[in-house]
């Protein structure tokens, strides 16, 4: 078996047993990146020298029996996570020259556990997009079929893991940006409970919705990585002061008797046959595993999309006001006065989708519209969240398709914002309620993968990993990988 | 929901984003489409509902008033577009008499 075909867990075992060194593994991935990524465009920055240095240090630790929990595993970071002295662009011209002066907590946590960082992955600009076509650094291709998009906003992270150019990758999810690309690229992706993973040094889009997480090839690999990333961080005032359980402990426990709800509002939608059948097949698998399946109702879930597209742009318009061309990032040429400096820097530095959202958010927060839009959306957000609270009184997990369909062709939806927004119809509700959600592969249609999503109650990531792992023990969708040429 | 040119101008100014006049019609169309999406919320009865600003019912945590960050002015200014004597340079803000 080739090194890139091994799972993260198998690679850890191989490193521990001395079957190969981290230097060999890292060089192997760097070679694959240089062979295949020109075309896929999943990386914005490849940190070859520092990766090989980190690998060398890791090999030394293995030799002196001082290995760290994730020692020598080569991963990639979404370019939304600040990495000290390394370019951190967030997919934008605005930050195209920005070398972060400090590292995010996610990056620091993983580094203290010994990972090797291969580089920074491409993404939709400021994480706004569902196809990775809004990046200033060009679109990312789906390794399953290069005419198709990898999803977004964590499209680079998804494409590089799917193409086996990294063992796993970090990602973020504001409305589906981990789970949707996971589904479109045939990966397992988890968005944990809001507050589980520190947002310190994670460039803000919509602060009450953003959450860091993982894209990997299996539930088990995701669990290993998420455990290292998670934990209370005094530098993030919304970080949850809760112990991180051992996410691996219950992976092998049977799920017999676990109650899984299917929201009827999701299944009443006009789903394509292949989406419906693969989701139903996943449900059958869960029945065979001993889970109890029942229909539930989330009566207000249809409000999620409009609620999201008020709240996220409102928060984004406030967060992105910091990009003014004064202290860091892009600045326009020859500003004639301070106003011109602001207005032209922001005109030239932001792409079309980011500007649309800033304008919508500014409108929703402006005098005279605040109550009608922003306040109304916040009240409706409560209704959506309450539906979940009610549902979790009778079920453990909630199952649905992750996306309305398989991937779509590049350019197909890029001129129609609303069509693009509909990509996240099944994923947004969990962000509004702050709940953990996982997507994993459950089928394939015409050569493109399909994903199924499980949403759990607050802090129940371990249960999500367990349910996904049990599914992956009896299916092999997650083992199918694209042949990269 | 229709947006007037005047409204779009005002929003763009509030957001401090310069927008070319010739991109107004297309942009207005897109924004109106998004605003139409919001109409659905009017169907929801929310008089008695408390606004949810955040998924966690957190109170702001506090910490002892101790210095935790050292001064890093030079490092932080390394990434600035224009700096002089430890200050960020911008075009003249207050006009002189001449």
Crossing angle (nearest 10°) for helices A48-63 and A22-40 = 160
Res B93: pLDDT: 83
Which of B34, B48, B66 has the highest number of chain A CBs within 10 A, making it the mutation to test binding with A?
B34
Residue A356 three-state SS: helix
User: Structure pTM?
Assistant: 0.97
Enter the ipTM: 0.94
Structure tokens at A456: 């759990």
> Cα dist. B53→A197, A431, A448, B64 in Å?
19, 13, 38, 27
**pLDDT at B97 (0 to 100):** 56
CB pairs under 8 A between A and B: 164
Question: With helix as H, strand as E and coil as C, how does A21-77 read?
Answer: CHHHHHHHHHHHHHHHHHHHCCEEEECHHHHHHHHHHHHHHHHCCCCCCCCCCEEEE
Q: How far is B96 from chain A (nearest CA, A)?
A: 13
φ, ψ of residue A109 to 5 degrees: the values are -60, -45
Site of tokens 């994903």: A451
> Where are the extended beta strands (E) located within A193-277?
211-216, 259-263
Q: Which residues of chain A register pLDDT less than 70?
A: none
Torsion of CA B87, B90, B91, B95, to 10 degrees: -60
pLDDT tens per residue, range B53-72: 998 877 778 889 999 888 99
Phi/psi for A29 (5° steps) reads -70, -40
- C-alpha distance across the termini of chain B, in Å: 47
Q: Is A375 exposed, middle or buried (0-12, 13-18, 19+ CB in 10 A)?
A: middle
Q: A150, A162, A87, A83: which is closest to A123 by C-alpha?
A: A150
What letter would DSSP give residue A374? I
Q: How far is CA A42 from CA A79, A137, A231, in A?
A: 11, 10, 28
CB A39 within 8 A of CB A83: no
pLDDT at A1: 83
Residue B96 has a pLDDT of: 65
Window 32-91 of A, Cβ < 8 Å to B: none
The per-residue pLDDT for range B1-39, each reduced to its tens digit, is 789 999 999 999 999 999 999 999 999 999 999 999 999
Nearest Cα residue to A52 out of A139, A124, A116? A116
Q: Which two tokens stand for residue A228?
A: 């290292």
Is some CB atom of chain A closer than 8 A to the CB atom of B6? no
Is A383 near chain B, with CB under 8 Å? Answer: yes
A153, A157, A167, A317: which is the annotated catalytic residue? A153
Q: Determine the angle formed by the axes of helices B24-37 and B5-14, rounding to 10 degrees.
A: 80
Q: Is A299 on the interface with B (CB under 8 A)?
A: no
Are the C-beta atoms of B19 and B12 separated by less than 8 Å? yes
């Amino acid at each position: 078996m080739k090194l890139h075909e091994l799972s993260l867990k198998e690679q850890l075992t191989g490193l521990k047993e001395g079957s190969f060194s981290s230097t060999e593994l890292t060089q192997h991935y760097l070679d694959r990146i240089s062979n295949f990524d020109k075309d896929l465009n999943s990386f914005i920055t490849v940190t070859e020298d520092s990766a090989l240095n980190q690998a060398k240090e890791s090999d030394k630790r293995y030799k002196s029996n001082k290995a760290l929990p994730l020692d020598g595993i080569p991963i990639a970071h979404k370019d939304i996570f600040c990495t000290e002295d390394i370019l951190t662009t967030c997919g934008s011209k605005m930050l195209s020259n920005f070398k972060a002066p400090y590292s995010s907590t996610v990056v620091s946590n993983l580094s203290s556990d010994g990972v090797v960082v291969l580089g920074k992955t491409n993404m939709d600009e400021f994480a706004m997009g569902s196809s990775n076509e809004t990046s200033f650094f060009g679109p990312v291709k789906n390794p399953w079929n290069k005419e198709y998009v990898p999803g977004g906003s964590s499209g680079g992270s998804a494409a590089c893991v799917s193409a086996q150019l990294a063992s796993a990758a970090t990602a973020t999810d504001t409305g589906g940006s981990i789970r949707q690309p996971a589904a479109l690229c045939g990966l397992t992706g988890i968005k944990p409970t809001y507050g589980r993973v520190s947002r310190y040094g994670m460039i803000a889009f919509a602060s009450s919705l953003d959450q860091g997480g993982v894209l990997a090839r299996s539930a088990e690999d995701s669990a290993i990585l998420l455990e290292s990333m998670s934990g209370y961080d005094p530098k993030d005032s919304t970080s949850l002061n809760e112990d991180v359980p051992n996410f691996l402990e219950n992976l092998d426990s049977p799920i017999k008797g676990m109650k899984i709800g299917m929201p009827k509002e999701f299944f009443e939608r006009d789903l394509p046959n292949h989406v419906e059948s693969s989701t139903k097949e996943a449900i059958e698998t869960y029945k065979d595993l001993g889970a109890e399946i029942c229909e539930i109702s989330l009566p207000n879930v249809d409000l999620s999309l409009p609620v999201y597209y008020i709240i996220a742009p409102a928060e984004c318009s406030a967060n992105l006001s910091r990009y003014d061309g004064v202290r860091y990032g892009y600045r326009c040429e020859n500003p004639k006065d301070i106003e011109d400096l602001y207005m032209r820097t922001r005109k030239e530095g932001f792409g079309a989708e980011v500007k649309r959202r800033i304008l919508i958010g500014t409108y929703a927060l402006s005098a005279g519209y605040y109550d009608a839009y922003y306040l109304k959306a916040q009240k409706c957000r409560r209704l959506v969240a309450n539906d979940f609270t009610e549902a979790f009184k009778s079920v453990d997990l909630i199952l649905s398709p992750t996306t309305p369909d398989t991937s779509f062709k590049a350019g197909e939806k890029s001129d129609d914002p609303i069509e693009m927004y509909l990509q996240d119809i099944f994923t947004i509700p969990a962000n509004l309620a702050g709940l953990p959600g996982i997507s994993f592969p459950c089928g394939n249609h015409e050569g493109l993968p399909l994903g199924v999503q499980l949403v759990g109650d607050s802090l129940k990531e371990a249960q999500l990993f367990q349910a996904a792992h049990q599914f992956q023990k009896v299916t092999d969708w997650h083992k199918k990988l694209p042949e990269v040429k | 929901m229709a947006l007037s040119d005047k409204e779009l101008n005002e929003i763009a100014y509030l957001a401090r984003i310069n927008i070319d006049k010739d991109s107004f019609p297309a942009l207005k169309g897109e924004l109106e489409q998004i605003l139409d999406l919001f109409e659905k919320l009017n169907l929801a009865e929310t008089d008695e509902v408390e606004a949810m600003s955040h998924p966690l019912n957190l109170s702001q945590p506090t910490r002892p008033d101790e210095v935790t960050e050292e001064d890093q002015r030079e490092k932080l200014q390394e990434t600035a577009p224009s700096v002089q004597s430890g200050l960020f340079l911008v075009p003249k803000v207050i006009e002189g008499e001449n």
